Amino acid sequence: MADYSIGERILGDRLYEAETSRLSESEQVTNLKHGVVREAYELFLTHFGPCPLNELKAAVAPGRVNLIGDHVDYCDGFVLPMAIPLYTAALGRLSSDQRRGFSNIFSSQFSDPILLHQPYDQINPESETWGRYIRGVFALTKCDMCLDIVIHSTIPMGSGLSSSAALELATYHLVSQFLPNPLPTGVESAELCRRVEHEFAGVPCGIMDQFVIALAENGHAIRIDCRLLTYDLIPMSISHDTLFLIINSGIHHTHADGEYAKRRKMVDDALKKFGVPSWRDVTHEIIREKSSVLDAATVDCAHHVVGEIERTVKASEALLDNDITHFGRFMCESHYSLKDKYRVSCPEIDELVSMALSCEGVFGSRMTGGGFGGCTVTLVRKDKVEDVKNYVKENFKNGSPTFYESEPVSHASVVELDFLSKP
Residues noted as catalytic: 209
> How far is C-alpha 11 from the geometric centre of its chain's CA atoms?
23
User: What is the DSSP pairing of strand 102-107 with strand 147-153?
Assistant: parallel
3-class secondary-structure state, position 282: coil
Which is nearest to 173 in space by CA: 419, 421, 410, 420?
A: 410
| Backbone φ and ψ of 297, nearest 5° | -65, -40
- Would you tell me how many other CB atoms lie within 10 Å of the CB of residue 414? 15
**What residue type is 369 in one-letter code?**
G
Q: How far apart are CA 31 and CA 171, in angstroms?
A: 21
Q: How far apart are CA 138 and CA 159, in angstroms?
A: 26
- The residues with which 153 forms a beta bridge, in sequence order, are 88
Rg (CA), the chain: 21
| Backbone φ and ψ of 5, nearest 5° | -65, -40
Q: How far apart are the first and last CA of the chain?
A: 61
E strand or H helix at 386? helix 385-395
| Backbone φ and ψ of 418, nearest 5° | -65, -25
Contact 334, 308 (CB under 8 A): yes
Contact 376, 366 (CB under 8 A): yes
- Tell me how long the chain is: 423
Scored b (16 or more CB within 10 A) or e, 293-324 reads: ebeeebbbbbbbbbbbbbbbbbbbbbbbeebb
Which DSSP letter does residue 81 get?
A: E
